[in-house]
Structure formats: C-alpha cells, structure tokens
Amino acid sequence: MTPTTPSRVLVIGLDGATFNLIHPLMAQGLLPNLARIMREGSWGELRSTIQPSSEQAWAAFMTGTNNGKFGVYGFQKRRPGTYQFDYVNGRSIDGRTLWRILSDRGKQVVVINVPMTYPPEPVNGVLISGLLTPSVHSKFTHPDGIYQELCEACGDYRIDVDIESGRMSEAQLLALADEALEMIRLRTCAALHLARTRPWDFFMVMYDASDRLAHKFWKYWDVNHPLHEPDKADTLGQALPRIYQALDQAVGELWDALVEEDVTVYILSDHGFGPMEKAVYLNRWLAQKGYLTLKQGVSANPREQAQRALRAGLRKAVHRLDSPIVSTMKRWAFAHFPNLKGALYSSVAFAQVDWSKTQAYALGTMGNIYLNLQGREPEGIVTPGEEAERLIDQLMADLRDLRDPDTGEPVFFAVYRGKDLYHGPHAHEAPDVVGVKTHRYHVVTADWQSGDEIVVRLGEGLHFVSDQSGQHALEGVLFAQGPGIRAGHQVQNARLMDMAPTILYTLDEPIPEEMDGVALTDLFEPDALARRPIRFTSEQVEGPARGPEDEQSEAEREAIRKHLAGLGYLD
C-alpha cells in the first residue's frame, strides 16, 4: 500500500472529549488504544465553532463551512416576526453535508448518531440520526427498518441517555453512568453489525456519553473543583474515567474490526470540556445596564397571574408525565390561551419583557445577544444602520467590562460583532454581539428576577445549573492514523471545519470551493502530499440543498425541549 492510494475513512466522534481528561487517564495507562493512535499517528487540539455547542459544531464538521453559510447559531432559532423560537434540526443546515457530497459521487457511506442529522437524508448507504431526533418512534434511519434490524442484532439501540434537568440523587447518578456504559456497548454493536453487513467508503459513528457524563460528573472526578466531594471519589468519582475507558475500548474494537491497511481513522470531538464553576445571569445584566426593561406591575394583573400559574403547573406536568391526560390538558390549554404555546416553548421568560423599552436581549447558554431591531423583531425599537451599529459598539464595550468579582477577570475573554465573526448568506441571522467565555462559566438567560447578582458561584442556591459541574470548551481533540499520516506528530491550528475537506482529500476526492475549512496538510507526510496534490471543484448543485422545513409536531417539540433541558442547554 503506497500513500498515493486513495483510502477509506473511519471517523469516531466523541462528543465533548477533552485532553483535560485524556492526558491524565493516559498517563495512568487507562487508555491504551488512544495512546497507540497517538504513537502511530498524529494528534492535537481541534478548535470548535464559536459558540462551542454541539448543534453548530457538528454542522461545521459536516459542511466544512462557517456558521454564516450553514446558518445555525444555537439550539433555538428565532421564528421570524415573533419573540418565539423553534428548535433546529438537520433541515436548518444550509449546505451539503459530507455524506451528501460523497453519496452524490457514488461513494458508500454509513453514518451513525451524528447530531443534527434528523430527519435522515437519503444517503447512498445507511444514516441513523442522533441528537435532536425526537425519539426511536420517529422515522430516524435511512433506509427505514434499520432500528428493527439493530434491535434484532444487538438487543436494543439507544439514541441518547435520559437526563433530568434537576438535581439527581447518588443512586440516580450511578444508574445514569450504567445507562451510558450500556449505550456505548449498544452503539459499538450497531457499528460492528453495519460494518459487517454494508459496504462502505466512509464510516462514521458518534458517541455522546463523554459529553453527557462530563456535565454531571466533572466535580466528582476533579479534586480541584470547588464543589469536589472527597467522600464520593471512589463511587461517583470513578464514573467519568470508566466512561473514557469504555470509549477507548470501543475505539479498540472498531479499530480491530474495521481498520485495514487502506483505512484512515479520525477520532475527534466537537468541542472540549472543563470545570464549570459559576453562572452568569446575562439578561439580568442587560436589565441592570438599561438595555432590557421588564413590564411594570405584571404580577398585579390577576389574569396574567392565573396564566403564569397555569404555565408553571403545565410545565411541571409535562416534565413528569407523558400521559393522555396531559395531552388533553395541553390541547385544552392551547385552545384557551393562544399565547401559551409560545410561552411553553420559549426558553426565556419573554412574556415579562417590555419590548417598547428594550434594546437588546440574550438567548441561549453561551453568550449570544440580539438587538431588538425594527423590521426584524415584531416590536423592535432600534433603528437599523448607524443607531444599531453605535449600540453594538457600546454593548461590546460593556460586555468586555463584565468581570468576575472573585478574580477581576473578564467573564468573556473575547467579544465579537456577529457580522465580523461570520460570513455568508446567513451572516445577517447571527447574534449581533457574541461573547465567548471559558468552560468556567455557564450563561443563564431566563430567571432575571430572583436576585441582583450577575456572576454567581455554583452551589449557591442555583436551580437550573446546580447539578452540572462541567461545561464546554473551545479546544476539542483530534487523532488521526492511516496511510500517509505522520506518526507521533502533534498537529497545530486544526479546526473542526477543516475536517470535511481533510476527509475528502483522504478519499482522493476534490474539495468543493464553497468550503471554508482547509485540508489539514500538517497531518500528512510531505512526500504523500507531493504525490497526491489537493484538488478543488466548483461543481454546482442544482437548487438549494436545504429542503422546506417541516412543521414539528407538538409531541416532537416537547420531546426535544425536555431532552435539551436535561442536557443543560435550556434554562
């Protein structure tokens, strides 16, 4: 086998995997398979998108483009002309995916559990959608019938673990860790079954346990975390290392079964991870700075009060029950209170905002701020053009000045104007101001009335994020091994959006010019590169790749909302 021969590609995705865990566990000899790939291949940090959140990060991976082209900036997207939000899914991505491009060129693909692939696109091969799939009862595989086939071959198949948004008991946490281990086993079984029964040029399987468990278990493992509990180090403290060991074992099994001499393997994460220590109340901060104003005397209005109580009760009910009674109650409530539907599904308590006196609002859990812009927001008060630009400048300056009272350090280490950060046909849909924080902070955009503090240490009476102690970081991981890949080499400056062009190059396929990422030449032996130069193509696709967006059913929306809340992406 010479390095000039086009090879097949195996990608193993490890959601949220980080060297913060891999290095110490590897030093203890607990990750032999990743250690082997590191010796025999190249490795290094893989920089995520801004923001480092799974929906946009995986979209960048699969399209090789920046957010301004694929058009996704968070789990929620504004419904035009309203203050309400829909959840994104695969249809929200504008652009061709790696598996679309390969399928169109006659290559055979298998894609398992990548987030943002629901509803499944008809690829040349098999696609099983991942995060943001409503449930296994949805049509989530292409072709149909794969779920039943995997249940027969492996006993079961699971898309994700079930996490409650509130605090979990020790017994519940241990059960969650066991559930995650079982999910890893089932995923590997599914991958091996499909690898044995389907031909493939490109094979990808994604594991999410590394992300889910890191959110919940970081403090038990990390002796330096402020909320570390030494008496739980032998029980809960072992969960995260066990998950990483199970993932390393999965890597070994897939390697043994799938990697022949023509196969290049890439192992990568969509973002990194680290200890989370504090919450930042961003809409409360906007209110204190005068950018956002709450309605006066809302609570004095009995009708409003009744509606709010109903909303709260209904929220609790749908959290706990999935019964026909709840559906009936929801149908009745939606019929009687037309505004309720939006209120239920909006993550922010926007019903309390006086839009006639509000210039800006924050959305999501990262640091994204939007202006209340005339012509875009239904009750926008900021005039587009000079006034808006001046306001953005002022907001950016204020946001850079927002400091952690304990350390004096800025909460956001970088602050951008959205349209400077992103480029492409969807750049105008970007947040107007983008604050980038480290894993130490979690942004809360609901709940601005229960206190005055902006930066709050975890554990101090926080409801929404109290049960999480790990958070995303920009620095993900990359491992690569195969024909022509340098051995024992640390790659620099690799970005997630570079992976699609890199994989195309590995398969000796030309790279579409629309891609913003570049093939990571640093991974390859110079003589391999010289023998097989990178090729580009300006091939045109007919019509927009993005199909019409389906209306999500209420049941699907609620399933997604509940799952995202459990993962800590909604507050």
- Both tokens of 496, joined, read 């997630």
Tell me which residues in 421-440 interact with Zn ion (CB under 5 A).
none
CB of 470 to Zn ion, least distance (A): 8
Indicate whether 160 belongs to the interface with Zn ion (CB under 5 A): no
CB of 213 to Zn ion, least distance (A): 10
CB of 16 to Zn ion, least distance (A): 5
Nearer to Zn ion, 18 or 103 (CB): 18
Residues linked to residue 390 through DSSP beta bridges, in sequence order: none
CB of 494 to Zn ion, least distance (A): 21
Q: Are 238 and 181 in contact (CB under 8 A)?
A: no
Nearer to Zn ion, 443 or 507 (CB): 443
CB of 472 to Zn ion, least distance (A): 6
Q: What are the residues whose beta carbons fall under 8 Å from the beta carbon of 569, sequence distance 6 or more? A: 53, 75, 364, 365
Q: What are the residues whose beta carbons fall under 8 Å from the beta carbon of 478, sequence distance 6 or more? A: 42, 43, 44, 45, 46, 266, 267, 268, 491, 494, 499
Nearer to Zn ion, 57 or 236 (CB): 57
Residues 342-381 as x/- pattern, contact with Zn ion by CB under 5 A? ----------------------------------------
Q: Residue 302: in which H helix or E strand, if any?
A: helix 302-320
Residues linked to residue 485 through DSSP beta bridges, in sequence order: 524
- Both tokens of 378, joined, read 């239904």
Q: Are 486 and 42 in contact (CB under 8 A)?
A: yes
Nearer to Zn ion, 61 or 350 (CB): 61
Nearer to Zn ion, 96 or 472 (CB): 472
CB of 212 to Zn ion, least distance (A): 7
Strands of the sheet with 278-281, listed across from one edge: 441-444, 278-281, 455-457
Q: Which stretch binds Zn ion (CB under 5 A): 28-36, 103-111, 211-219, 258-266?
A: 211-219
Q: Which stretch binds Zn ion (CB under 5 A): 97-105, 208-216, 303-311, 359-367?
A: 208-216
Indicate whether 571 belongs to the interface with Zn ion (CB under 5 A): no
SS3 state at 112:
strand
CB of 7 to Zn ion, least distance (A): 32
Residue whose token pair is 């800006």 = 360
Nearer to Zn ion, 211 or 571 (CB): 211
Nearer to Zn ion, 209 or 340 (CB): 209
Residues linked to residue 496 through DSSP beta bridges, in sequence order: none
Q: Residue 191: in which H helix or E strand, if any?
A: helix 170-197
Nearer to Zn ion, 163 or 392 (CB): 163
Residues linked to residue 195 through DSSP beta bridges, in sequence order: none
Nearer to Zn ion, 131 or 340 (CB): 131
Concatenated DSSP letters of 324-374: HHHHHHHHHHHHH-TTHHHHHH-SS-GGGB-GGG--EEEETTTTEEEE-BB
- In the complex, which residue's CB is closest to Zn ion? 211
From the centroid of its chain, how far is CA 54?
A: 1
Nearer to Zn ion, 149 or 179 (CB): 179
Residues linked to residue 280 through DSSP beta bridges, in sequence order: 443, 455
Taking every pair of Cα atoms in the chain, the longest distance, rounded to a whole number of angstroms, is: 77
Q: Are 180 and 209 in contact (CB under 8 A)?
A: yes
Nearer to Zn ion, 211 or 248 (CB): 211
Peptide bond into 552 cis (omega under 30): no
CB of 528 to Zn ion, least distance (A): 36
SS3 state at 132:
coil
CB of 215 to Zn ion, least distance (A): 6
CB of 391 to Zn ion, least distance (A): 32
Q: Which stretch binds Zn ion (CB under 5 A): 183-191, 210-218, 299-307, 331-339?
A: 210-218
Q: Which stretch binds Zn ion (CB under 5 A): 196-204, 207-215, 393-401, 546-554?
A: 207-215
Indicate whether 211 belongs to the interface with Zn ion (CB under 5 A): yes
Q: Which stretch binds Zn ion (CB under 5 A): 3-11, 203-211, 508-516, 526-534?
A: 203-211
CB of 52 to Zn ion, least distance (A): 9
Q: Write the DSSP symbol of residue 503.
A: H
d(CA 448, CA 551): 31
Nearer to Zn ion, 211 or 429 (CB): 211
d(CA 456, CA 98): 42
E strand map for 392-547: 412-417, 433-437, 441-444, 455-457, 470-473, 475-481, 489-490, 494-495, 511-512, 536-537
Count the residues of the shown chain that bind Zn ion, applying the rule CB under 5 A: 1
Nearer to Zn ion, 114 or 388 (CB): 114
Nearest to 249 by CA among 21, 36, 19: 36
Nearer to Zn ion, 211 or 377 (CB): 211
Residues 74-93 as x/- pattern, contact with Zn ion by CB under 5 A? --------------------
SS3 state at 78:
strand
Cα 390–Cα 449–Cα 356 angle in degrees, nearest 5: 40
Q: Which stretch binds Zn ion (CB under 5 A): 43-51, 192-200, 209-217, 317-325?
A: 209-217
CB of 498 to Zn ion, least distance (A): 22
CB of 53 to Zn ion, least distance (A): 8
d(CA 526, CA 531): 9
CB of 429 to Zn ion, least distance (A): 23
**Contact residues for Zn ion, defined by CB under 5 A:** 211
